[in-house]
Amino acid sequence: MAFRGVSAVRAWAVLLAAALCGGCSFSRVRTNPEVAGLETAWIVPGETTYREVVGRLGMPPPVGSADSAPAYVSDDTLHWVSTDSRIFELKVGYVVSPIFRRSRTVAADDVLIRFDEAGRVRLVSRTRRRGGETTVLDFREARP
């Protein structure tokens, strides 16, 4: 008889879990994968101009919503970012449906170019992050 009780409790637990959980999902989100291929070796700090950089590399694509795009382009900074994230979502309930989300960025590529008041490149920086390790691929500054 005790064995039947345990089975009944398990059955109710499974039914309750099925009723509460709307589902879970695993996904991968990659933003701006072309950033990894940007070449910056041709840029000469102190000589290359804003117009030359934009003409050859284009403007940085927005990251996230349109509201966050201005953070990556300003009068003296161009910032390209590429991310590769893994996301787990658990949706609970049907009437009121809170979503629990866990996200982890496993890779990122970053190109940052800063300009002086005259519009010439002051700094070039390229970094790559894989797992927990960050590698500086290029870092050059204009001499004062």
pLDDT tens figures, 78-117: 998 888 888 888 776 666 666 777 788 888 899 999 999 9
Q: Which residues, other chains included, contact 58 with Cβ-Cβ below 8 Å and sequence gap of 6+?
A: none
Task: Compute the average pLDDT of residues 2-15.
Answer: 69
**How many structural domains is the chain composed of?**
1
Query: Which residue range(s) make up the domain with 69?
Result: 23-141
Residue 47 in domain: yes
What does the pLDDT read at residue 42? Answer: 96
Residue 32 in domain: yes
Which residue is listed with tokens 């970053």?
Answer: 110
Highest mean pLDDT among 18-27, 51-60, 81-90: 51-60
Residue 2 in domain: no
Residue 13 in domain: no
Residue 12 in domain: no
For residue 31, with 0-12 CB atoms within 10 Å meaning exposed, 13-18 middle and 19 or more buried, which class applies? middle
pLDDT band at 70 (very low <50, low <70, confident <90, very high): very low
Residue 43 in domain: yes
SS3 content of the chain, % helix, strand, coil (to 5): 25, 45, 25
pLDDT at 143 over 50: yes
108 near 129, Cβ under 8 Å? yes
